[in-house]
Amino acid sequence: MKNKNAYIAIGIVCVVLAAAITIQVRTMQGENSAVSQAFANSELKDSLLEWKERSDNAEADLEKSVKRLEELRQTSTENGNSSEEKQQELKTYNQLLGLTDVTGEGISMIVTDSVQTGTSIDMNNLIVHDSDLRSLVNELANAGAEAISINDERIVNTTAITCAGNVILINGNKVGSPFTIKAIGNQESLYGAITRAGGYTYGLRARSIQVDTRKSDNVQISKYTGALTFKYAQNDN
């Protein structure tokens, strides 16, 4: 009888110990979960603070640049003869950056998706892609174009021509067919380069893409209206 009671007591103790261990494990798991969540929240908070700091710094740099440009303009206005040189220098830099409207001789092109239809035709070949526009821009630039625009989007050093689904983005803005491409430069050189046999437009026409290219003595190209930002290039001054 005594042995039986001893076994019962030992069993009760084991049950109590198992329950205590279970409760302890669950408590530790809850604490670990809370700690992990706290760490996650802390990392998210640190990330948000870091991006806010970057944004604040970018705004401060932009404000400094605008103030510096205004100081330069005021100085050039106050310094007599040197003001004309400064103004001309500013004008030249703005033209190089694409920040002014420009007019001159050159060419204009209208590039339009093909109107062909048919079940045996690869429809992908019948539309103008972002890669087509980049190739045309490169061909015009290599031929000496001093200013280029596509659907009134000025092409500058930081311009990106990309595809987003079935939409083409230039400078972050949506553009679509027909594409009006303007280029200022020696019109004979530009026209010859863009219409030559074996040139890029030659391949476009082979895909039934419509291309109409004309010379002009009065090509007007609007200025770039976005914000010029540089991530890696720094001013040495």
Structure tokens at 67: 């103030």
Residue 234, helix vs strand vs coil: coil
d(CA 43, CA 232): 27
For the chain, list the domains and their CATH numbers.
1-100 (no CATH), 103-221 (3.30.70.1880)
Question: What's the sign of the alpha-carbon dihedral 184, 185, 186, 189?
Answer: negative
Q: Are 152 and 78 in contact (CB under 8 A)?
A: no
C-alpha span between 214 and 194 (Å, rounded)? 10
- Note down pLDDT in tens along the chain; length 237 residues: 444 444 444 445 444 444 545 555 455 555 555 545 555 556 656 656 665 665 566 566 656 665 666 666 666 666 655 566 666 666 666 666 777 899 999 999 999 999 887 666 778 889 999 999 999 999 999 999 999 999 999 999 889 999 988 889 999 999 999 999 999 999 999 999 999 998 899 999 999 999 999 999 999 999 988 776 666 666 665
pTM as predicted: 0.62
Cα separation, 231 vs 69, in Å, equals: 20
Widest distance between CA atoms in the chain: 121
Rounded distance, CA 94 to CA 114, Å?
Answer: 38
